[in-house]
Structure 1
Amino acid sequence: MAYGLRFKTARDLFMACPAIARDMRTPPTEQRSIEFCRDLLAGRVPEEAITFCAYLLPERAAVWWAHECLSHLTDLFDQTDHELLALVRDWVSEPDSPRHRADVSAAAATPPTTPVGWIVLAAAWRDNSSAMASTTALQPFPAAHAVNAGILAGLARVALADRFSVLSAFVEMGIQMAEIEAQHQSADAY
Structure 2
Amino acid sequence: MTERKNLRFEVAAELYKAIPEVEEDITARPVNHTSIEFIEALAEGQTPEEAITFCAYILPRRFSVWWGHECLKRISDVLEETDLEMLALAAKWVSDPEEHSRYEALDRGMEAKVHTPGVWIALGAGWSSGSMVGPDMPSVPPPPFLTARAVNAGILGALARITLAERPEHLQRFVRMAKMLTETE
- TM bracket, shorter-chain basis: 0.7 to 0.9
In structure 2, relative to structure 1, the CA distance for the partners of 1:61 and 1:4 (3 Å cut) is closer
- The change in CA–CA distance for 1:175 and 1:129 in structure 2 (over 3 A counts) is farther
- Structure 1 residue corresponding to 2:165, chosen from 161, 164, 177: 161
Quote the offset at 1:129 in angstroms.
Answer: 3.8
* 2:102 alignment partner AA: R
Q: Is the CA contact (8 Å cut-off) linking 2:13 and 2:30 kept in structure 1?
A: yes
TM-score by length of structure 1 reads 0.85
Matched residue, 1:86: 88
1:11-67 alpha-carbon deviations (Å, 9 max, x no partner): 111111111111010012111110110110000100000011001001111000000
Match of 1:109 in 2: 110
Aligned to 1:179: 183
Partner residue of 1:8? 10
Q: Alignment length, in residue pairs?
A: 178
| Structure 1 residue 176 displacement after superposition | 1.0
What is the Cα-based RMSD across aligned positions, in Å? 2.2
> Which one-letter code corresponds to 1:89 in the other structure?
A
Larger helix proportion of the pair: 1
Separation of aligned partners in 1, 2:6 and 2:181: 12
Deviations 1:112-146 (CA, angstroms, capped at 9, x unpaired): 5201111111111114345388796xx65111111
TM-score (norm 2): 0.87
Identity %: 43
Unaligned runs of 5+ in 2: none
Alignment of structure 1 residues 14-29 onto 2, 5 Å: 14-29=16-31
In the TM superposition, residue 4 of structure 1 has moved relative to its aligned partner by 7.3
Pick from 135, 143, 155 the counterpart of residue 147 of structure 2.
143
Aligned-partner Cα distance in 1 for 2:48–2:13 = 18
Matched residue, 1:45? 47
Tell whether the 8 Å contact from 1:65 to 1:174 is kept in structure 2 after alignment: yes
Q: Residues of 2 paired with 1:10 and 1:106: CA distance?
A: 33
